[in-house]
Structure 1
């Protein structure tokens, strides 16, 4: 009577299900049926029973284990193997061996919820389900399933025991947690369906687990039998929902969990995995599931504690399972099942039913025509640029902003921001920190005690707190310590705080007060990629798009997620993200190696970006040929004439945009002291396009030194700085202040070239330094820094870098034995710029490649960058235009342009007419192309130890690399 009451309640609450079509059928049903029947016809009873077992195999164990598996195949005719730990290469080798040993092809299973990395070394790892639960684009989850299917298929796996469809409504769940898509049944179902569709499209069977639902438990079924005291209405509404949806999407298999659910199985302590009511009555009959049914591992304590080996296997088969996963004793299990058949506890028809399903699944995955798996090039096939790109895409869509008071994120005003970083947690933070520093000066602040830390934080107005926990497994502890919780609250009381959690979103549960925390970002995992992407979001290079997959008390409900704006700052990705070939770009590595090996330059930096994404950024070689200090991507180089477009031109363009002059303004009108000279009537347009007949260069320094002994005259120089001699041309060498006027006088009096046409000259940029000072009453280094470099976050872009950076961060240029008689390191190489106190429009800037790219990207984006407009688009166009192209002059105004004569090599042969850039005497170069979105920076100190070495220029290395970059574009 009691059973009848339970059954009636059950029928009342469990939704009526449509009959699921057989998900194990192929398109060639008749061929499949013929193959299954032909196998069945030749199987003995022992061989049929053997098909029920999937035992665990390892590829990192010794020969003894291999022989054991061979024995199990030969003696007990097992139906499949589930591979555990090892490597992909070894697993493939063993799979080939075992398949050849087996009379009936083996169904190979695997636990790869987030990729082959879950079990195997040297394999690709995708994000955990909790992270994917935040992703709103279902197509990306399907793509993830597809990629994982490709990986599985490549190494001979036929069924991947994924996805986990447990709805994690219990934050204390010790075994599911990060393995769940979240607490929302609709979200879980959508993600599971997309994943299943993707993986099964590659011919790899999906497996939904852990039926009927392991999400709301606080115990681990590996260690004990979890208890779920829920009524049928709750189970049907929540736990079973994803399964119903998946059954309509051709899900191939289900795994039954070891759970104690009295509302489903009234017998005390009976695990769901061996419950007839759960497996047969609920799953097969009520829910009409026709796919393959697996037990969860039978060696887990949730099952093993209930009955002895053999007995538990028999009970599981009697319950309705098709395959018995990881039995403890196959020999004993076979014996028990044979006795049950003999005693009519099981019919042979029931046995045949499961064996036929198993064989159908084997046909479905192609085992009717098994061919040995290719044993070479495995790693390159399962760790691809496609995988790396997808991983980045998933993380970009997942990272979630749950709080953003006063639009704290993204950080906008870099000129005013004084940013500190404080690390909490016990795991790595290097990628996060390095990426933050690409955008602004961010100082790492730490102390052993809170008082000391708060004291050190006083000068800062913004504090980024990164909480970093282990990314090794999804089960690692994620909770903050009591001390960390106190530190977080105390720091946030006196500062604008951005908290970034590189751990489970459940980390936030222990934070009692969020009122003083201005922004909270959940980055889910502490991987290198999540750190990089999260840092980019903080500075507005990428938008935040994720939605919280679980609730954090009643403070941040499930589904919380604030979308930020994209400020169009440079972001950092991989070549395939912008349709470029990473393998082709590696040719740059060979060229830079040749540069060093051939003594063209001691070292350098190369940066490549496209569409605002930096996709190649490397340093090469050393500071000098003694090879004691390797070049870093953060090291500063003397830019030489690249200064013209990054130091002189910005202020010229801004002044023109403000209406202070126009392109036809004469130099005499701009600079009155040129009135009546041969420079008087030259227009700005002519001067900047190098058609004004201005002399190319004046070696001012020669008249200030003894040209025989190469020593400076005392009347011009002092070894100590004084009121009258404050122009520092090098270490312990100061030029008299009055000599600046001599330079302007020499330019004014210099004879003009007699021939018309184009001739490069830097003298106009000396003149503009004076114009800027006379007009704005401030030096151009100050104006550039305040108006461009600081707000851009280009902290290394600077004149006289020794005022801000240590000498070790600055790459030496030349060993000067003709003027200053010392190694130039942090003092401008250009003699004329040195005599202008290191600040000129023609030379004097130092920078690393990343900060040059910021200025160039701003130009590419028509004057806009980081949420700020620096120039009107028409201004950029006006100066990036060839006004004298009809005269075969390639130059714009200040900007260099691609060669018109194929014999020249100003740029790449592929460069478009709209592209622009400049080269520098010291071995520097930068180029940008609006039509292709390309941006390129090359830095070197080819003038070390002497400028007489110009092999770099003679072999067109800088523009040849640009050719390679264009060639790497995927059409």
Structure 2
């Protein structure tokens, strides 16, 4: 009994092993065999011959071509089609038409090495294999294969001629190059296996190519017959290595190349695709491959030049191939096949052997249950957000940091760096510049000659050199010009340089000396996503983790790659990457359209970030209702009371950390001029919580106007700046300096409210401007720049932006007809802040949405950002706590907090108690939630042309958008 069980086990093992070795055999083996037999038994001889042909079909040709294909299907019973360019919907329509004409469902193939986009427009495009060769997580490659398989399924494609399994050991290879996973045979094997597993899990046939290996050739088989003149040991160790591996893992098909390989085929003029020694003896007998064997395209000169088309096609079958890819002269070939069958040159048994394998492949791919392609929704299904997320993951994972002297990568200490960017190469770089500038000021340096360029770069601490080459296809030239090499050499001699290469790694072979180049980042391709992600990496929002898949002389070895730090700066990602839904977030677009249509505001910006990734960042409308200037993301808005948490509060918290006061310190202690006033004993805890009975505000400006004409009093204002009139309240209006003392006096004299409890007041933020000046010896604007904004790279956060920012980037606020009698453009809207020369803790700060988000993200990260500690977690916690919750005060210290019960709507009601933020009178809003890790910024100039228009607030637009954002979380 024991021996019987052992024998049974061994028999079962051998049977399963044998089944595993036949990659075309399905789980329902009996059903598959029955279907194949039934179809084969009903076929005529011509139908059997027709199964061997995979003819080229195009979706961008005229009706004449379509008619030719239909005639070939009807007359010669074509078994397969391979589609080339150009449009997926047209291809789907043609496929349905052609399949309807065929008695036996046809196998549809395509070359989709980097996705369907290799052949079809308006389909998704993934990175080239050389880029993917740098990726260290092969699960991403498997997912890549799976998604390509899904696209093939959706478009009625059953066979994809990928992966490229060539080991590219020749940098001068004219046809493989970027199409290879690299020069390391193990890396090539594992990447190919991963891709195959992914695609074949979708029942799409993977076809490894170009057997036995096209990686070390200096010629293109499209134009000639390349020579592979190596000994057998070399072929086994390099070219054949990945094939052995991928055959063991169940690849369903292999494509045979047109190569001259004397060690395998002594008759050098015979292409490998027509060699029995290669196709039968090596591939099938020695390597044991039982899957479908297909020739490389037979219209290529590597085979077409060998003999007549009919003889070439017959020779391919006699060599051991099963399927003829792009055969020429189908009618002539049919005649030749009949003649060969009659003479015995080709036997019926040999013919049916291949036909049976083709039918097995069709069953494997589901063609025994053929259904026409559904046209509706096709383009959407071929371009999903999941595809974009994977594409970005692949690009990010490929980026390779090859050199990093003095750890200048990623860039730290932005306040100490003056950075320039120089472009080399002849391709687009707009996205790279756009994203570099999101992190700090980066000046684009241009010049016609190297001397003036070097002179212009002298003031800069660091130069980012971007080398941008065409991303159209992998065959485009990646080489530096001699001029570019000279410029790179000169720049690196005179400046610290980060060289970012958006081209093939082989481009680095031209650089003679890397000693003066401090850092080298290899970004591989010049796609917009590559440029965006590369910029993020340079500034530490992402980490480099790729490994170069080829060697660069003795400078960089295959497999080299440094890990770079993540400095926790804001990055950019798809919503789906951080658990949110893109479609739901598009509701924000609709509601902002309503804002503009209903004239709640002329325009604005909205930013949403989660887990440190900006996932929605859009601009809407115009600067004014005249619609002359569209809003850009780089434009700056008057932030109004957001200044309290972005301008006043940061320095208050820093003062607290510097042990300059305690929360129960009294104002009289900190501000001696309040001694003896009714504010003497008010504590910092009370005033920052708005629980100190202070007046909401004091309209200081009213007493500076003529009581009858309401014009500014001539004794207090001047139209020109002078020693005594230096406080600029608008473009051509200057307040007398001494009035500042009057403002402090009014605050000193103001009554406290009789009723205790919560009441919003900005008075304390006026007072702290003076406190900070007296304590630190510098103005609030200087202190914020030095301690926060410059270090964050928040270059648009600025008081009095007209001094530093182009006026056309500043969005106007109100047309002031009650005080300054002018359109407020670059001058603070808040009257009190204006009378403090535009610098106050309660208002006066301008900025754009991304720079506001940097401050909010720094708070969310408990005081840490960009590799730098700004505030301690303990300080953030203290100020983000409700200290008078038992008195129903919702506020923290300076920070606004979610409403309690039926209070006014500070938030959508969907924020956690740990969340914090503020709103601004001009139509601004910023909020962050530690629980959901959300940051939300809304900027507008709803006060234009008049602050009497408060439809934005009445309709709760800002908090309604906040609700949409929370609803978009899908975790």
Same fold (TM over 0.5): yes
**Structure 1 position 873 matched with structure 2 position 873:** yes
Alignment of 1:569-968 (within 5 A): 569-968=569-968
Counterpart CA distance in 2 for 1:606 and 1:969 is 17
1:175 alignment counterpart: 175
Counterpart CA distance in 1 for 2:758 and 2:621 is 37
Residues 578-609 of structure 1 show CA distances to partners (whole Å, capped at 9, x for unaligned) of 00000000000001110011000000000000
Shift of 1:20: 6.3
Residues 461-506 of structure 1 show CA distances to partners (whole Å, capped at 9, x for unaligned) of 1100101011000000000000000000000101001110101000
Counterpart CA distance in 2 for 1:751 and 1:768 is 19
Alignment of 1:309-328 (within 5 A): 309-328=309-328
Residues 415-451 of structure 1 show CA distances to partners (whole Å, capped at 9, x for unaligned) of 0110001111111001100000000100111011111
Counterpart CA distance in 1 for 2:601 and 2:446 is 39
Shift of 1:19: 9.6
Residues 507-540 of structure 1 show CA distances to partners (whole Å, capped at 9, x for unaligned) of 1000001100010111000000000000000000
1:108 aligned counterpart, secondary structure: strand
Please give the root-mean-square deviation of Cα atoms over the aligned residues, in Å. 0.9
2:448 alignment counterpart: 448
Alignment of 1:238-387 (within 5 A): 238-387=238-387
Counterpart CA distance in 2 for 1:213 and 1:242 is 9
Counterpart CA distance in 2 for 1:931 and 1:707 is 53
Residues 218-262 of structure 1 show CA distances to partners (whole Å, capped at 9, x for unaligned) of 110000000011000000110000010001111000000000000
1:545 alignment counterpart: 545
Counterpart CA distance in 2 for 1:187 and 1:371 is 38
Contact 1:19 1:288 in 2 (8 A): no
Counterpart CA distance in 1 for 2:406 and 2:657 is 33
**Structure 1 position 420 matched with structure 2 position 420:** yes
Residues 528-568 of structure 1 show CA distances to partners (whole Å, capped at 9, x for unaligned) of 00000000000000000100000001100000100001000
1:82 alignment counterpart: 82
1:14 alignment counterpart: none
Shift of 1:888: 1.4
TM-score (ref. length: structure 2): 0.98
Counterpart CA distance in 1 for 2:85 and 2:632 is 38
Alignment of 1:476-487 (within 5 A): 476-487=476-487
1:114 aligned counterpart, secondary structure: coil
Residues 912-952 of structure 1 show CA distances to partners (whole Å, capped at 9, x for unaligned) of 00000000000000000000000000000000000000000
Between Structure 1 and Structure 2, how many residues are aligned? 955
TM-score (ref. length: structure 1): 0.98
Alignment of 1:490-569 (within 5 A): 490-569=490-569
Q: Which runs of 4+ in 1 moved over 6 A?
A: 17-20
**Structure 1 position 116 matched with structure 2 position 116:** yes
Q: Unmatched 5+ residue regions in structure 2?
A: 1-16
Contact 2:19 2:25 in 1 (8 A): no
1:711 aligned counterpart, secondary structure: coil
Contact 1:435 1:535 in 2 (8 A): yes
Alignment of 1:452-467 (within 5 A): 452-467=452-467
1:192 alignment counterpart: 192
After superposition, the Cα gap between the structure-2 partners of 1:708 and 1:335, relative to the gap in structure 1 and judged at 3 Å, is: farther
Counterpart CA distance in 1 for 2:938 and 2:341 is 77
1:609 aligned counterpart, secondary structure: strand
2:641 aligned counterpart, secondary structure: helix
1:11 alignment counterpart: none
Contact 1:134 1:549 in 2 (8 A): yes
1:206 aligned counterpart, secondary structure: strand
Contact 2:313 2:327 in 1 (8 A): yes
Contact 1:20 1:289 in 2 (8 A): no
2:12 alignment counterpart: none
Counterpart CA distance in 2 for 1:777 and 1:286 is 84
Counterpart CA distance in 2 for 1:724 and 1:919 is 35
Counterpart CA distance in 1 for 2:314 and 2:204 is 28
Contact 1:701 1:819 in 2 (8 A): yes
1:917 aligned counterpart, secondary structure: strand
Counterpart CA distance in 1 for 2:963 and 2:103 is 57
Shift of 1:902: 3.7
Alignment of 1:23-38 (within 5 A): 23-38=23-38
Counterpart CA distance in 1 for 2:18 and 2:768 is 81
Counterpart CA distance in 2 for 1:343 and 1:287 is 31
Shift of 1:217: 0.4
Counterpart CA distance in 2 for 1:66 and 1:903 is 70
Contact 1:710 1:817 in 2 (8 A): no
2:9 alignment counterpart: none
Contact 1:18 1:288 in 2 (8 A): no
Name which of structure 1's ranges 203-212 and 341-350 shifts more when overlaid on structure 2.
341-350
Contact 1:693 1:759 in 2 (8 A): yes
1:131 alignment counterpart: 131
Shift of 1:970: 0.5
Contact 2:261 2:268 in 1 (8 A): no
**Structure 1 position 393 matched with structure 2 position 393:** yes
1:58 alignment counterpart: 58
Shift of 1:332: 1.0
1:310 aligned counterpart, secondary structure: helix
After superposition, the Cα gap between the structure-2 partners of 1:622 and 1:707, relative to the gap in structure 1 and judged at 3 Å, is: farther
1:769 aligned counterpart, secondary structure: helix
Contact 1:20 1:290 in 2 (8 A): no
Q: Unmatched 5+ residue regions in structure 1?
A: 1-16
Shift of 1:574: 1.1
2:11 alignment counterpart: none
Counterpart CA distance in 1 for 2:569 and 2:87 is 40
Contact 1:812 1:825 in 2 (8 A): yes
Shift of 1:954: 0.6
Contact 2:73 2:102 in 1 (8 A): yes
Contact 1:400 1:523 in 2 (8 A): yes
Counterpart CA distance in 2 for 1:498 and 1:707 is 63
Shift of 1:715: 1.1
1:13 alignment counterpart: none
Shift of 1:732: 1.4
Counterpart CA distance in 1 for 2:765 and 2:158 is 69
Counterpart CA distance in 1 for 2:268 and 2:395 is 44
Counterpart CA distance in 2 for 1:19 and 1:577 is 40
Residues 735-775 of structure 1 show CA distances to partners (whole Å, capped at 9, x for unaligned) of 11111111111101101100010100000000111110110
Contact 1:20 1:247 in 2 (8 A): no
Shift of 1:335: 1.3
Shift of 1:648: 0.2
Counterpart CA distance in 2 for 1:777 and 1:367 is 81
Name which of structure 1's ranges 640-649 and 715-724 shifts more when overlaid on structure 2.
715-724
2:166 alignment counterpart: 166
Shift of 1:903: 5.0
